[in-house]
Amino acid sequence: MTTALDVVGQECLSFTVSGPFAHFRRVDSTTEKPTYRVIPRTTVAGLLAAVLGEPRDSYYETFSREHSAMAISPVCSLRTQSIPMLTLPTTSGDIKSAQGVSGKTVIDPETIAKERKRRTFEYVVDAAYRIDLILAETDTFERLAEYLTSGRAVYTPSLGKTECLASFEDVERNTVEAGGDPEAISSTVPEGHVVPTPDTPLRMERSPAFMEAEESGRKTTGFASYAYAPETEPLHAPEAPLSTVGDRTVCFR
């Protein structure tokens, strides 16, 4: 599922988000904690909503396929590292206030003894992604441009898990032009458009792309299946809907 916006001639906000570690939990796993290599579209939306301080589950329409377009370009090696960690439950009722102590919370020792588990988390190391963003909501676009340019954020930005702190660099405003070089695409591309070439590594992922709010919270309404080249190699996709942003060829989705 891709964007419904006509991106040609639109103004886009381009920036790089990076951090020492990133973890984007795969939704198709129920035991260990593997990560997507490429930051999912829904994670980018949540990250930017946190920068603006938007309430939980309030921003899905802003980043819907009808009102937004996004190109995601890995600018790192996408190398991963597995780290074992002890985890504790954080569901409702497990965390309690310490009796007679203001501002301190505890977990019942019996719950710790029963529920504490060692899990292996997979992290992207030295993660960095170049994002090109188009929003139909002009006010939100301008507010986001101001926040990123000035280095402001209502909530601390992170790449997935809250301990994976993130920073923004190289914030620019560009006008999207039609076409591009099909031999030098820097962003991810819908997998159906990619032509494998000899000696060029190619990987594919399928991750959440769009969400909507519902009574119990939120639900995913669309997924994106895309290809990317590790080690920042360019992709070959002669039939893909390409655009040019600055001096880069990307594919909005």
Q: For position 36, what pLDDT does the model report? A: 95
What pLDDT is attached to residue 51? 97
Domain assignment of residue 6, yes or no: no
Tell the residue number behind the tokens 């937004």, with chain if given: 68
Band the pLDDT of 43: cuts 50, 70, 90: very high
| Sign of the C-alpha dihedral computed for residues 58, 225, 36 and 229 taken in this order | negative
- By CB atoms closer than 10 A (0-12, 13-18, 19+), residue 55 is exposed
CATH number at residue 93: 3.30.70.2660
Q: How far is CA 70 from CA 102, 103, 112, 204, in A?
A: 44, 41, 42, 18
Within-domain flag for 39: yes
Q: Is residue 5 part of a domain?
A: no
Specify the pLDDT at position 102.
53
Let me know if residue 144 belongs to a domain.
yes
Q: How far apart are CA 186 and CA 128, in angstroms?
A: 13
Q: Which residue range(s) make up the domain with 173?
A: 11-250
In a domain, 236, yes or no: yes
Mean pLDDT of 230-240: 79
pLDDT number for residue 202: 85
Q: From CA 63, how far away is CA 203, in angstroms rounded?
A: 26
With CA atoms as reference, report the closest residue to 234 among 73, 12, 124, 125: 73
Q: Is residue 208 part of a domain?
A: yes
Separation of alpha carbons 118 and 32, rounded Å: 10
pLDDT, tens digit (0-9, with 9 covering 90-100), for 186-200? 999 999 898 887 877
State pTM to two decimals. 0.88
Q: Strands 117-135 and 11-22: what pairing?
A: antiparallel
Both tokens of 17, joined, read 């988000």
Q: CB under 8 Å to 173, separation ≥6 — which residues?
A: 11, 12, 13, 14, 145
Q: Give the count of domains, the chain.
A: 1
**pLDDT over threshold 80, residue 1:** no
How far, rounded to the nearest angstrom, does the alpha carbon of residue 103 sit from its chain's CA centroid? 33
Is 18 inside a domain boundary? yes
Residue-wise pLDDT for 89-118, tens only, equals 666 555 555 555 555 666 666 666 666 677
Does residue 16 belong to any structural domain of this protein?
A: yes
Q: Residue 116: its pLDDT value, please?
A: 63
